Amino acid sequence: MTNQELIALAIKAKQNSYSPYSGYKVGAALLCKNGKVYLGTNVENCGYSPSNCAERSAIFSAISNGEREFEKLAIVGSSNDIAYPCGICRQVIVELLPNADIICAKDENTFKVCNIAELLPNAFTPADTDTVKPRQ
Ligand code: THU
């Protein structure tokens, strides 16, 4: 699947956005190594804190369905610019899809292919907690 095709799916997912508080719609499409695609959108809440980002909706849906191997993740927002993942989503990405291409897009013609190392340098990763695990 091309980057453009994955972005088109993220744009479709964006149509499902539940964002009455911010008015900012976001869509994400996550391509697994097995070819399956999981979509996500942002889901807001009147309590604000319970809101979820599009990227995490897509990633958690894929994980919930047993996926572990990921190829690339496309993200689009509803501003007139390229959409980049928020800090919390970057932290989730570095743990669950550290080697995937992160396609930050405005539309099918305007996008940047990034990797998580550049989006989240010097990240806190599972390796950092290895030394603090209790002995069995
Ligand atoms: N949002 C995302 O879905 N992904 C991001 O990476 C940035 C922010 C959502 C959360 C909230 O529903 C709205 O955009 C405004 O912050």
Q: Which pLDDT band holds residue 132 (cuts at 50, 70, 90)?
A: low
CA distance 75 to 112: 10
CA distance 91 to 55: 11
* pLDDT value of position 130: 79
Find the mean pLDDT for residues 67-75.
Answer: 98
- Domain range summary for the chain, segments of one domain joined by +: 3-128
Which among 32, 31, 83 is positioned nearest to 54, based on CA atoms? 83
CA distance 75 to 8: 10
Question: Which atom of ligand 1 lies at the shortest distance from residue 53's CA?
Answer: 3
State the distance from the centre of ligand 1 to the C-alpha of 68, rounded, in angstroms: 24
Above pLDDT 70, what percent of the chain?
96
* pLDDT value of position 121: 98
Q: Is the pLDDT of residue 38 over 90?
A: yes
Atom 3 of ligand 1, residue of closest alpha carbon: 53
Strand-pair category, 26-32 with 37-41: antiparallel
User: What tens digit of pLDDT does each residue of 86-129 get?
Assistant: 999 999 999 999 999 999 999 999 999 999 999 999 999 999 98
Which one is the CATH code of 3-128: 1.10.3720.10, 2.40.160.20, 3.30.70.380, 3.40.140.10?
3.40.140.10
